[in-house]
Structure 1
């Protein structure tokens, strides 16, 4: 049994993160994306912990099983303004969070995701490149067929790489396309 005092921070975070019904879709999406990104980054969350946190926050859950061990757990915000896919539940690879919204552009999402990461990972150096030193900016060279570079952080137990791109089956880093997806590679 978990002591209530240990759950208090989680309950407070959920209460603060879930937007009120009177907010605009953009504000609601921003609150949901901030909540999901915070939880994906915080304290090396495992996929099982993320499942509990997202479902306790009232997010819907469904499973997509591709066979061969590739399973995606989908979580949707109650107002459908943001969606989270967690890849790696029970898999051999490290977990990956994909946070998607159609209400925030790639251009706005890059600094937004970085500010959330800076707050959550306070004191950690954030490098504005891929782990290999590559830089892909919206509408820049290499932006077709690749996500925007985003940033990476070396934390005590691993490296975390955060990319931003346009949602869909193809990777793009275009400011002219609607919506954004954040990929958090833990």
Structure 2
């Protein structure tokens, strides 16, 4: 389990901390208008923003508010939502993402603030990989997963619903809260933090 968890965490950190995508990967959008996307397996929020993922007819992203401070990138099968530089001020950024009920993204990451909330209505998934680095929140109580790999570094929170194996790690504070009845829990905390049931 530790090997699988390490590989999942490494994949999430690459997704979150990769340099900004090239110009060809940048998505053009108009605030309030949905942009259709091909299949997505990953979603990352960097530098703030409130992102909600809901069931829909296909994959799409809509910047509802704060479009002047949002940059969207597509990197392979992952959507990256970032704060436009300079990332300052009190601008609210609200983004809505849709995915088919049987095709929700299972690699989720928040870095440097912001949040991802997974709405109810998605089919159960076999594995969910979730990471928060440098603050932020990931709320996935409504997404039932067999196995979950969750990591928080430098503060933040992750909420998941798990029935199989839960691998949870916290470094430098934060919390991982789980719903459901995990069959096995592997946990590690360094520098504070809590891992426990809802």
Question: Structure 2 length as normaliser, TM-score?
Answer: 0.30
Between structures 1 and 2, the one with greater strand share: 2
TM-score w.r.t. structure 1 length? 0.31
